[in-house]
Amino acid sequence: MRAFATGAKSVKSKRGSATALLSYSNFNIDKKGDTYKIVEATSNRVFFGAGSDVTVLSVAQYFCELCAFFGPQDETAHEFLRVVLNSLYLMTEKKRNPALIKAITELRICAISGYAPDLVACSVCGDYRENAMYFMIDNGALICENCKKENAIRLSSTVLDAMRHIVYSDIENLYSFNIPEKDISALEKITEKYIVFQSEHRFSTLDFYHSVR
């Protein structure tokens, strides 16, 4: 939902902090015609910690753009909200690697939004015990060594396990894993390619993220 907060940029505005970027707030909203107007706003939490690190800030801004693009319209979005808030908290409090939080958020948002990849077994022969497995960005399918196709991305067992956990775990256990730095880098590249391909959208905040890394 898009809503206007008249005068929110003024230093005297009572709605200033509650409507600022990276604020989780409660709103009282009036609808006039096709326009929503914020009458009152109170802040639950402002993620100030993002401003102390330009990389964290760039990822946090990227999460906001993901919200604007993938957030469901005029319906509840409890899991979507929990993922974004938990990711912002863990990242701004420096409890987890920002690149890992970014990858978790990207892939889980894809799953919530109807773009969940099929990571159970090879989509061609059904084998799930093959040592070498590959991922197809275009359709989110998993394929084995024997069924490998052009442009398929090879997954290490660690990256594949991480992707399966992100897509299939309960929200309560979503962040309950860690992997080595090299695997985080590989995972992040895959989840980023996947969400960009599936959305067919160029995220300006993602460009900014890469420019400051």
Q: Which of 195, 22, 205 is nearest to 113 (CA)?
A: 195
pLDDT tier at 206, thresholds 50, 70, 90 = very high
User: What are the pLDDT digits (tens) for 52-93?
Assistant: 789 999 999 999 999 999 988 878 889 999 999 999 999 988
- Evaluate if residue 107 carries a pLDDT over 90: yes
| Residue 95: exposure state from Cβ atoms within 10 A (0-12, 13-18, ≥19) | exposed
Residue 110 in contact with residue 193, Cβ under 8 Å? no
Residue 105 near residue 83 (C-beta atoms within 8 A): yes
Q: What digits encode the pLDDT tens for the residues 13-49?
A: 888 888 888 899 999 999 989 899 999 999 999 887 6
pLDDT grade for 204, boundaries at 50, 70 and 90: very high
pLDDT at 132: 86
Cβ neighbours, 10 Å, residue 170: 7
Write down the pTM of the prediction: 0.91
**Least confident window among 88-92, 107-111, 129-133, 136-140:** 129-133
DSSP 99-167: HHHHHHHHHHHHHHTT---B-SS-TTT-----SSEEE-TTT-BEEESTT--TTPEEE-HHHHHHHHHHH
Contact by Cβ (8 Å): 56, 50: yes
Q: Which domains does the chain have, with CATH numbers?
A: 1-46 (no CATH), 47-212 (1.20.1440.120)
Beta strand 153-155 with 133-135: parallel, antiparallel or unpaired?
antiparallel
CA distance 130 to 124: 13
